[in-house]
């Protein structure tokens, strides 16, 4: 069915509205609608485009998900070279740059300069033709770069279609693609928890992401871009650099908000100092500032050297690297049991801060560096990134050195340590009793999906452990009103409420108890499957790895971790203590044979009004279903509540069965869940 003029207009209106909200959110940091409302607009557009696929445009905001993987990148020859910048060293270098400008222009007056932070990212070129993004390329050697169009199209701060009007027919925009510090930390934390490779710094992460042959992977990482100049332009542009940047902003391109215009060399130094003071608080890495003669006519008069323009200079911050000696390597145990090597260094000043410790991430990193105790090393510190050793000066290696060896047991509790196949992270297996993990294990034990101990929040757990009142989860049940009221902000009523909640938590279920133990890789669903398979904690404790693998969702790695957990005497001692204080549990009556949804994967999305999300999930799991947080081709059914978002859209695209909450309730009642 051909689309009517009304449908065409509606699609165009939705695209324009979404582009405007994207611009306000990503470029102006000033959203005017909620995320839910934005998701609704996006969902409406995708629905219309699905009905009328002939109207899908490559500049539609729905087309940022990534394309078919490439086998290699093609080369792009820049129509105008992407030059590098000369560097002004120190305050004297800035005044010398200004003096050279005045001499060449034969001027005694102060020069007007455009100033901006120098983003520590990856330089890219974007080509727009008639307002549409047609090509993205890396800087390369300045003359030839790589075609990364598919990847830059996934970056939400890069418009696929320029806004407004008056832009040149062909416009090449240049800028810096970077990883926000916050997004970088989250990505590395997730990678570390999965035992995957972590990136050394945001710049390396941005470069690696832009060079992914599969743009779907690029789309999953939150890159951003600041535009800093224009290369090719077939059309009229303002005659000042600062005004060109402002014009780019009106066309939807993102420009750094700290761009400023100053007059005279003294003000350049002031700007540099001001940006330096703000550096730590910025959510992106910068390594200096850039000064450019603002007048385009004067830029042309000043001209170029072989590889650098005469009218611009970079003024970098002091180097944040230092050279020192590695005195020792110690191993620390994190709150999740990850054992991390930490370098103990001869104190050295780097970027104005004295460094005596540096992270080494894992044993693979030590092997990569070829590091031994006694080595002379290069230490790097960048912004708020933890200092790290980046290289070893082998020529300075002394005769007497010592190899770095992984400890045989956990340094905190003496439990066995385990490195699973395919992982780089080594972990302590004494989760319930390890002093380094005690706060995290107790928080998990008391959480809503575990023993659900009301009133036992994070701050109270901190107090109880710090005051020496508890050392493991079993100790919770030895607490008294007398020792609780001594804590800060703990009145008798609050103390009694907590004691009542603890007493109530003694009556639980086997799935909740298994989940509460905090065994690595054992989530709520796996805990339920283990409970249904073994029926009792003793049977689970005595199961070997082969038997464990007969449980749904339990493969060799998870079976290995479960078995190891129950081999640790410290863990068994805590479990015995829990039994002694009266903890009791019951097994769900449903057996595997009665699980009507066994082998199916269900997804819940949107807001449910009659069931809680946890209730719906638990009842589906009792029927044998796996409840997932994401939609894929393996999804059996999606339950769509109010304001369902992208999961519903994806389910529609994949042709997956979709039901409403009322339909789910009917099904659950019919199957007796």
The predicted model gives 505-521 an average pLDDT of 91
Among candidate residues 258, 290, 256, 287, the one with its CA nearest the CA of residue 274: 258
Helix axes 5-22, 35-51, angle to 10 degrees: 150
Exposure string (b/e) for 581-594, b if CB count within 10 Å is 16 or more?
eebebeeeebeeee
Q: What is the residue extent of each domain of the chain?
A: 5-55, 86-316, 321-396, 417-422+426-586, 594-670
The predicted model gives 266-284 an average pLDDT of 91
Phi, psi of 337 (to 5 degrees): 95, -5
Active site residues per annotation? 118
Provide the pLDDT confidence category of residue 39 given band limits of 50, 70 and 90: low
Among candidate residues 187, 165, 363, 331, the one with its CA nearest the CA of residue 252: 165
Instruction: Give me the pLDDT at residue 94, please.
Output: 92
d(CA 347, CA 353): 10
Provide the pLDDT confidence category of residue 305 given band limits of 50, 70 and 90: confident
Provide the pLDDT confidence category of residue 34 given band limits of 50, 70 and 90: low
d(CA 290, CA 43): 42
Question: Does residue 594 surpass a pLDDT of 80?
Answer: no
Instruction: Give me the pLDDT at residue 535, please.
Output: 85
46, two tokens: 């995708």
Higher pLDDT, 66 or 338: 338
Provide the pLDDT confidence category of residue 558 given band limits of 50, 70 and 90: confident
Provide the pLDDT confidence category of residue 27 given band limits of 50, 70 and 90: low
The predicted model gives 242-271 an average pLDDT of 93
| CATH 3.30.470.30 given to domain 86-316 | yes
Question: Does residue 193 surpass a pLDDT of 80?
Answer: no
412, two tokens: 């905190």
d(CA 258, CA 262): 12
The CATH class that applies to domain 594-670 reads alpha beta
Question: Does residue 593 surpass a pLDDT of 50?
Answer: no
In percent, the amount of the chain with pLDDT more than 90 equals 32
All residues at 6 or more sequence positions from 222 whose CB lies less than 8 Å from its CB, including other chains:
179, 180, 183, 187
The predicted model gives 4-19 an average pLDDT of 78
* 3-state SS class at 98: helix
Question: Does residue 567 surpass a pLDDT of 70?
Answer: yes
Q: Is the dihedral of CA 218, 221, 222, 228 positive or negative?
A: negative
Would you mind telling me the total number of residues written for the chain in this entry? 673
- Look at 58-67, 387-396, 500-509, 519-528 and tell me which has the smallest mean pLDDT: 58-67
Provide the pLDDT confidence category of residue 126 given band limits of 50, 70 and 90: very high
The DSSP H or E segment spanning 76 is: strand 75-77
Fold of 417-422+426-586: DNA polymerase; domain 1 (1.10.150)
CB atoms within 10 A of CB 579: 12
d(CA 47, CA 607): 20
- What are 74-109's pLDDT values in tens digits? 888 888 888 888 888 788 889 999 999 999 888 888
Question: Does residue 384 surpass a pLDDT of 60?
Answer: no
Residue 655's Cβ-count burial label (10 Å; 0-12, 13-18, 19+) is: exposed
Alpha helices per DSSP H over 506-645: 510-516, 524-534, 537-541, 545-548, 556-565, 569-580, 613-622
Instruction: Give me the pLDDT at residue 191, please.
Output: 75
Cα dist. 75→135, 139, 140, 215 in Å?
A: 12, 11, 9, 17
All residues at 6 or more sequence positions from 15 whose CB lies less than 8 Å from its CB, including other chains:
45, 57, 59, 60, 61, 161
Instruction: Give me the pLDDT at residue 195, please.
Output: 67
Q: Report the Cα–Cα distance between both ends of the chain, in Å, rounded.
A: 44
Chain CA centroid to CA 247, Å: 32
Provide the pLDDT confidence category of residue 316 given band limits of 50, 70 and 90: confident
Provide the pLDDT confidence category of residue 532 given band limits of 50, 70 and 90: confident
Whether residue 603 contacts residue 633, with contact meaning beta carbons closer than 8 Å, is answered with: no
Instruction: Give me the pLDDT at residue 590, please.
Output: 46
Exposure string (b/e) for 535-559, b if CB count within 10 Å is 16 or more?
eebeebbebeeebbeebbebeeebb
In percent, the amount of the chain with pLDDT more than 70 equals 92
| CATH 2.40.50.140 given to domain 321-396 | yes
Whether residue 431 contacts residue 340, with contact meaning beta carbons closer than 8 Å, is answered with: no
- Look at 229-243, 515-529, 586-600 and tell me which has the smallest mean pLDDT: 586-600
Question: Does residue 536 surpass a pLDDT of 70?
Answer: yes
Instruction: Give me the pLDDT at residue 439, please.
Output: 85
The predicted model gives 40-49 an average pLDDT of 75
d(CA 439, CA 432): 10
Question: Does residue 135 surpass a pLDDT of 50?
Answer: yes
278, two tokens: 């703000």
Q: Which residue has the tokens 């590098």?
A: 84
620, two tokens: 């589906």
The predicted model gives 148-170 an average pLDDT of 90
* CATH number belonging to domain 5-55: 1.10.287.610
The predicted model gives 412-431 an average pLDDT of 80
The DSSP H or E segment spanning 226 is: strand 223-234
Longest dimension (CA), the chain: 92
Question: Does residue 129 surpass a pLDDT of 90?
Answer: yes
- Look at 46-50, 256-260, 464-468 and tell me which has the smallest mean pLDDT: 46-50
- Rounded to two decimals, the pTM is 0.50
Higher pLDDT, 671 or 491: 491
The predicted model gives 435-460 an average pLDDT of 87
Higher pLDDT, 18 or 357: 357
Domains 5-55 and 86-316 alike in fold: no
d(CA 613, CA 651): 19
Instruction: Give me the pLDDT at residue 500, please.
Output: 93
Provide the pLDDT confidence category of residue 57 given band limits of 50, 70 and 90: confident
d(CA 610, CA 512): 23
d(CA 630, CA 647): 7
- What are 222-236's pLDDT values in tens digits? 899 999 999 999 888
571, two tokens: 């863990």
DSSP lists the bridge partners of residue 427 as 338, 418
All residues at 6 or more sequence positions from 511 whose CB lies less than 8 Å from its CB, including other chains:
524, 527, 528, 530, 531, 532, 588
Provide the pLDDT confidence category of residue 595 given band limits of 50, 70 and 90: low
Instruction: Give me the pLDDT at residue 306, please.
Output: 66
Question: Does residue 388 surpass a pLDDT of 70?
Answer: yes
Provide the pLDDT confidence category of residue 501 given band limits of 50, 70 and 90: very high
Instruction: Give me the pLDDT at residue 341, please.
Output: 92
Q: Tell me which DSSP letter residue 473 carries.
A: G
Helix axes 90-105, 265-278, angle to 10 degrees: 140
The predicted model gives 289-309 an average pLDDT of 88
């Amino acid at each position: 069915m051909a689309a009517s003029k009304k449908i065409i207009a509606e699609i165009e209106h939705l695209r324009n509205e979404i582009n405007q909200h994207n611009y306000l959110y990503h470029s102006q940091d000033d959203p005017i609608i909620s995320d839910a409302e934005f998701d609704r607009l996006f969902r409406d557009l995708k629905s219309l485009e699905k009905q009328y696929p002939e109207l899908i445009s490559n500049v539609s905001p729905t087309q940022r998900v990534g394309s078919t993987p490439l086998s290699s990148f093609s080369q792009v020859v820049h129509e105008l070279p992407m030059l590098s910048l000369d560097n002004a060293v120190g305050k004297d270098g800035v005044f010398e740059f200004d003096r050279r400008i005045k001499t060449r222009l034969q001027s005694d007056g102060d020069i007007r300069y455009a100033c901006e932070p120098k983003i520590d990212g990856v330089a890219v070129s974007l080509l727009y033709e008639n307002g549409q993004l047609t090509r993205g390329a890396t800087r390369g050697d300045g003359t030839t770069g790589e075609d990364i169009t598919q990847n830059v199209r996934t970056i939400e701060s890069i418009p696929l279609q320029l806004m407004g009007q008056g832009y040149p027919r062909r416009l090449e925009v240049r800028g810096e693609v970077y990883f926000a510090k916050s997004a970088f930390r989250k990505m590395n934390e997730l990678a570390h928890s999965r035992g995957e490779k972590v990136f050394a710094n945001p710049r390396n992460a941005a470069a690696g992401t832009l060079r992914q042959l599969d743009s779907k992977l690029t789309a999953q990482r939150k890159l951003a871009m600041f535009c800093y100049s224009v290369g090719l332009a077939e059309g009229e542009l303002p005659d000042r650099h600062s005004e060109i940047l402002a014009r780019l902003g009106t066309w939807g391109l993102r420009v750094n908000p700290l761009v400023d215009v100053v007059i005279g060399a003294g003000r350049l130094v002031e700007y540099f100092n001001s940006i330096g003071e703000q550096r730590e608080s910025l959510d992106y890495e910068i390594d200096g500032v850039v000064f450019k003669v603002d007048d385009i006519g004067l830029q042309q008069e000043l001209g170029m050297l072989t590889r650098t323009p005469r009218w611009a200079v970079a003024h970098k911050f002091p180097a944040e690297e230092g050279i020192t000696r590695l005195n020792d390597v110690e191993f620390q145990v994190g709150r999740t049991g990850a054992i991390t090597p930490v370098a103990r260094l001869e104190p050295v000043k780097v970027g104005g801060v004295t460094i005596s410790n540096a992270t080494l991430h894992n044993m693979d990193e030590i092997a990569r560096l070829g590091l031994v105790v006694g080595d002379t090393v290069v230490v790097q510190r960048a912004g708020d990134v933890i200092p790290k050793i980046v290289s070893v000066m082998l020529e300075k290696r002394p005769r007497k050195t010592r190899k770095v060896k992984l400890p045989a047991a956990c340094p905190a509790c003496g439990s066995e340590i385990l490195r699973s196949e395919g992982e780089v992270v080594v972990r302590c297996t004494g989760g319930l009793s390890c002093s380094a993990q005690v706060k995290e294990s107790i928080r998990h034990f008391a959480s809503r999906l575990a023993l659900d101990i009301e009133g036992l929040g994070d701050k109270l757990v901190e107090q109880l452990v710090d005051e020496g009142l508890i050392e493991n989860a079993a100790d919770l049940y030895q607490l008294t009103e007398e020792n609780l009221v001594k804590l800060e902000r703990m009145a008798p009523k609050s103390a009694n409420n907590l004691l009542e909640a603890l007493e109530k938590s003694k009556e639980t279920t086997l799935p909740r108890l298994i989940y509460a133990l905090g065994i690595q890789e054992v989530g709520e669903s796996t805990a339920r499957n283990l409970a249904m398979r073994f029926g009792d904690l003793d049977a689970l404790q005595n199961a070997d790895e082969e038997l464990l693998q007969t449980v749904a969702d339990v493969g060799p790695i998870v079976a290995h971790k479960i078995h190891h957990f129950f081999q640790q005497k410290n863990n068994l001692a805590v479990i015995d203590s829990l039994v002694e204080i009266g903890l009791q549990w019951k097994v769900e009556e449903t057996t595997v044979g009665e699980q009507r949804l066994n082998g199916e994967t269900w997804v819940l999305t949107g807001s449910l009004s009659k069931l809680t999300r946890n209730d719906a999930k638990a009842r589906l799991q009792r029927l044998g279903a796996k409840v997932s947080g994401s939609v894929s081709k393996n999804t059996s059914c999606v339950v769509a509540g109010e304001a369902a978002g992208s999961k519903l859209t994806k389910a529609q695209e994949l042709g997956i069965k979709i039901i409403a909450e009322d339909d789910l309730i009917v099904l659950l009642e019919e199957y007796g869940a």
